[in-house]
Amino acid sequence: MKQLNKVIEYGLYLLIFLLPWQTRLFLKISRLKGGYFEYGSLSLYLSDIVLVLILILALIARTQEIKNRSRTLGTKIEITIQKISWIFVLFLNLGALVSILVAPDRSVAGYRYLILCLGMGLYWLLASARFDKAKAFFSLAAALGIQAALGIWQFLKQASFASKWLGLAVHRPGELGASVVETYRGERWLRAYGGLDHPNVLGGSLAVGLLVLIFLLVRRLKEKGGGWEKASLFLFYFLSLVALFFTFSRGAWLGLAAGGLIILAGLFLKGDEEGEKIFLKILIASSLVVALLFFRYHELVLTRFNHDTRLEVRSNQERLESYQVAARLISGHRFGGVGIGNYTIALSKLKPALEAWAYQPTHNVFLLVWAETGLLGLVGFAGLFLYSFWAARRQVFSLAILAALLAMFSVDHWWWSLHYGMLFLWLVLGMVLALTEEENTF
């Protein structure tokens, strides 16, 4: 039993490390109007296989544990934070399941429902498995540190390379469809992707990763020794910070700022003077790095906040239009939704004249969940998120993570619309849940 638990524990660390890599086998390649259609394609990811194996082992261990536990009649049922959270998870699951019945493409809906169930399985695993949370966070920091290094290389090189084994695609600034920043002079600068689907995905992941690293650094710098670990954490932190800058993701910048403000305010209110001093030192060092990067690339940053350039005008228009379309789809499918994973398919029927690449989910996670899974799914998702806030109300780090998520949910969709986003979301929520009942976290 002890050996099985060890396999599960280190399997979990491996899964967290592998999750950002998009190595996959295409089961179905979907095309719409002659163009590749990601939201209609079905894939089997390496992370899916690893997660399923760990879940099987965890279920075996859990079954064995129940058999070995002596039970007596009249045992008091303990109501915990984790058990209450599962009520909301159940509502979301039921909403998604029912939505399959009304989905235009049931194969896509069924596939996305399975991914949702895998995410919920990861959530359960993090809540129930015995593992060292510091090691899990370090594994995540290391995985995102590698992604950050790759993203920095891509931006400085202004190119990327393809690798089917690592799940990497080619991106060039001159190609249509590449995510770029376009200056007033018409120069196109490729944004950092890392090994992920879009710079916003890398940026959002790094924003969470930087908050995790702040948590680890504050905790480790209070202790003596561990020089190599502290050095590694600083390396991952500054790699992630520079790469986040090169994603030029406004939503990710907003998420990190929201989380950072919560940490600063929380440490001050708790009277943690040592933690506050460490955080302020990190903040000053980070500000110097960002100032140097801004001095060199200020034109690109200002372009992202200027609404007069061609790409930024189009980006803002598309974002506003996506909110309007989401409202139309919700008004017509308020209770049942259009089917999990079927938002873009429903959009293609609503607006048949667009190109394949133009069919994108609405840039708001809550609207997207409502549009796809109906009112029941929205109640489950929003309820779980709000309850997580309440459960973590005394823990600064958990509140910072949730605040960052809330900020990014309001301006992007990949947390729900992409395979990686779905699993990463449940990973983050599961880690927050696992910390809620601990006393020694800030």
Q: Which two tokens stand for residue 258?
A: 């929201």
Whether residue 196 contacts residue 22, with contact meaning beta carbons closer than 8 Å, is answered with yes
Q: Where are the beta strands (DSSP E) in 240-310?
A: none
Whether residue 341 contacts residue 112, with contact meaning beta carbons closer than 8 Å, is answered with yes
Q: What is the mean pLDDT of residues 404-414?
A: 95
Q: Is the pLDDT of residue 167 over 60?
A: yes
The pLDDT value recorded for residue 168 is 83
Domain assignment present for residue 188? The answer is yes
- Coil vs helix vs strand at 404: helix
pLDDT digits (tens, 9 = 90+) for 133-142: 889 999 999 9
Instruction: Give the C-alpha separation, 40 to 350, whole Å.
Output: 16
Q: Which of 165-179, 282-296, 380-394 has the lowest mean pLDDT?
A: 165-179
- Split at pLDDT 50, 70, 90, the class of 75 is very low
The pLDDT value recorded for residue 78 is 47
Domain assignment present for residue 13? The answer is yes
Domain assignment present for residue 237? The answer is yes
C-alpha torsion sign, points 238, 239, 244, 245: positive
The pLDDT value recorded for residue 312 is 61
Domain assignment present for residue 346? The answer is yes
Q: What is the mean pLDDT of residues 351-362?
A: 84
Q: Which two tokens stand for residue 192?
A: 């950092």
The pLDDT value recorded for residue 74 is 43
Q: Is the pLDDT of residue 388 over 50?
A: yes
- Split at pLDDT 50, 70, 90, the class of 76 is very low
pLDDT digits (tens, 9 = 90+) for 283-315: 999 999 999 999 999 999 988 887 666 666 666
Instruction: Give the C-alpha separation, 191 to 207, whole Å.
Output: 16
Q: Is the pLDDT of residue 385 over 70?
A: yes
Query: In whole numbers, what is the pLDDT of the chain averaged over residues?
Result: 89
Instruction: Give the C-alpha separation, 244 to 250, whole Å.
Output: 10
Domain assignment present for residue 78? The answer is no
The model carries a pTM of 0.93
Domain assignment present for residue 382? The answer is yes
- 180, β-bridge pairs: 190
Whether residue 26 contacts residue 172, with contact meaning beta carbons closer than 8 Å, is answered with no
Domain assignment present for residue 21? The answer is yes
The pLDDT value recorded for residue 213 is 95
Q: Is the pLDDT of residue 72 over 50?
A: no
Domain assignment present for residue 54? The answer is yes
Label residue 355 exposed, middle or buried (CB < 10 Å: 0-12, 13-18, 19+): exposed
- For 399, phi then psi, to 5°, come to -65, -35
- Split at pLDDT 50, 70, 90, the class of 434 is confident
Q: Which of 6-15, 223-232, 278-287 has the lowest mean pLDDT?
A: 223-232
pLDDT digits (tens, 9 = 90+) for 81-122: 667 889 999 999 999 999 999 999 999 999 999 999 999 999
- Split at pLDDT 50, 70, 90, the class of 427 is very high
Q: What is the mean pLDDT of residues 42-46?
A: 95
Rg of the Cα atoms in the chain: 22
- 338, β-bridge pairs: none
The pLDDT value recorded for residue 281 is 94
Q: Is the pLDDT of residue 425 over 80?
A: yes
CB atoms within 10 A of CB 208: 26
Q: What is the mean pLDDT of residues 36-63?
A: 92
Q: Is the pLDDT of residue 178 over 90?
A: no
Task: Tell me the C-alpha to C-alpha distance, in Å, between residue 63 and each of 1, 60, 254.
Answer: 11, 5, 43
Most confident of 210-219, 240-249, 301-310: 240-249
CA nearest neighbour of 386 among 50, 2, 87: 87
The pLDDT value recorded for residue 129 is 79
Angle between helix 396-409 and 419-435 (nearest 10): 160
Task: Tell me the C-alpha to C-alpha distance, in Å, between residue 19 and each of 16, 140, 376, 423, 427.
Answer: 5, 9, 29, 8, 10
- Split at pLDDT 50, 70, 90, the class of 268 is confident
Distance of CA 179 to the CA centre of its chain: 19
Q: What is the mean pLDDT of residues 172-192?
A: 84
The pLDDT value recorded for residue 344 is 93
Q: Which two tokens stand for residue 96?
A: 């998604």
Q: What is the mean pLDDT of residues 27-32?
A: 89
Instruction: Give the C-alpha separation, 279 to 294, whole Å.
Output: 22
- Split at pLDDT 50, 70, 90, the class of 378 is very high
Q: Is the pLDDT of residue 320 over 50?
A: yes
CB atoms within 10 A of CB 299: 14
Please give the tally of structural domains in the chain. 1
- For 187, phi then psi, to 5°, come to -70, 135
Which of left, alpha, beta for 24 (phi over 0: left; psi -120 to 50: alpha)?
beta
Give the domain extent around 232: 2-70+87-435
